[in-house]
Amino acid sequence: MSGTATTNWDWEITPKTSFWAHSTQELWAYRHLLAGLVRRYFLLNYNQTVLGPLWILFQPVLTLATYVLVFNKLVGISTGALPPVVFYAAGIVLWNFFSDSFMGTSNTYRENIQLFSKVYFPRIIMPVSVVSTQFLRFLIQMGMLLAVILYYSLVTDYAFQWTWNLLLLPAAVALVGLLGLGLGLLFSVLTAKYRDITNLVSLGVRLLMFVTPVIYPLTVIPEKLRWVVQLNPLTPLFELFRLALLGQGLVTPMQLAYSLVLAVILLLGAVLFFQKQGDRLIDVV
């Protein structure tokens, strides 16, 4: 046969690693896998449980009762003009989204090594599916938070006044999710190489909560020490979340710009690191 036969491939799998391993076309082709993984993660957590999906609400409700009892009643931390239940509920819902996204993605390689070693698909699909699942949980818990706000608006004398700041709410939630994804991607590689870092991640998340305005408003921190908490990029986002939803929050445009820039840099760096190191970890984990 004369001439040279040529074959057009959609994708070519090689042992060579790169910082940006997947095209937009390839990622779009796996959108159905992403949807299937989100559905799997969401349902798997509640199979063979007594309360089923009610666990999504039971955990924040139990945490809320504990925070109100300990930090408001016993310790006496002021929540400003906001009712303590509403203040803590807002912090809990947003913190759960961040911590669950971070913790879930940080174990990507350790929990899926058997799948990664047998089937090819863009590895980034797995952590994105985890964050997407946690976002669905966040939406359900957000419904609970709105119900609490409505209850206090109707039953108590406190009147919530929503303004145009409410339009900033999606930005706060999105940046929190990006920070959780970025940190999770970074530590997913580190925990795959060094198993003891898993314990450090769990401890770090617990400690991080205390320098994030989850159980206290930023206004209760003395001004000379406030900069310590404001170094945390989550601080402006939690304050923006409460400002947009509840009308109470201490945040400036510069602080938001700081969180935005740090979130973008962290996510881009983590994605590149995740892509470059991904295939090398198959023989390490």
pLDDT in tens, 195-208: 778 888 888 899 99
DSSP code for 73? I
pLDDT score for 139: 93
Contact 140, 60 (CB under 8 A): no
How large is the average pLDDT for residues 244-252? 90
Using pLDDT thresholds of 50, 70 and 90, give the confidence band for residue 245.
Answer: very high
Rounded to 5°, angle at Cα 78 from 73 and 80: 135
More confident residue, 174 or 247: 174
pLDDT score for 120: 72
More confident residue, 165 or 184: 184
More confident residue, 21 or 172: 172
Contact 216, 67 (CB under 8 A): no
Least confident range of 44-53, 174-183, 204-213: 44-53
247-274 burial, b at 16+ Cβ within 10 Å, e below that, comes to: bbbbbeeebbebbbebbeebbeebbebb
Q: What are phi and psi of 4, to 5 degrees?
A: -115, 125
pLDDT, the chain, mean: 83
Tokens of 250: 């201490």
pLDDT tens-digit map of 200-229: 888 889 999 999 999 999 888 888 888 889
How large is the average pLDDT for residues 168-189? 93
pLDDT score for 21: 56
Quick check: 6 pLDDT over 60? no
Contact 132, 100 (CB under 8 A): no
Burial class (CB in 10 A: 0-12, 13-18, 19+), 212: buried
Q: Where are the alpha helices (DSSP H) in 107-248?
A: 108-116, 125-155, 169-193, 197-210, 223-230, 234-246
pLDDT score for 197: 81
State CA 282 to chain mean position distance: 26
Using pLDDT thresholds of 50, 70 and 90, give the confidence band for residue 19.
Answer: very low
pLDDT tens-digit map of 145-164: 999 998 888 887 777 777 88
Q: Where are the alpha helices (DSSP H) in 156-168?
A: none
DSSP code for 266? H
Tokens of 225: 């020490």
Least confident range of 84-93, 103-112, 182-191, 260-269: 103-112
CA dist., res. 71 & res. 80, Å (int) = 13
Quick one: which of 16, 21, 43 has its CA closest to 123?
A: 21
How large is the average pLDDT for residues 237-252? 92
DSSP code for 12? -
Task: Match 């174990």 to its residue by tokens.
Answer: 107
pLDDT score for 164: 83
Using pLDDT thresholds of 50, 70 and 90, give the confidence band for residue 257.
Answer: very high
pLDDT tens-digit map of 77-116: 888 888 899 999 999 999 999 999 999 898 887 777 777 6
Quick one: which of 122, 269, 97 has its CA closest to 187?
A: 269
CA dist., res. 216 & res. 248, Å (int) = 12
Quick check: 232 pLDDT over 90? yes
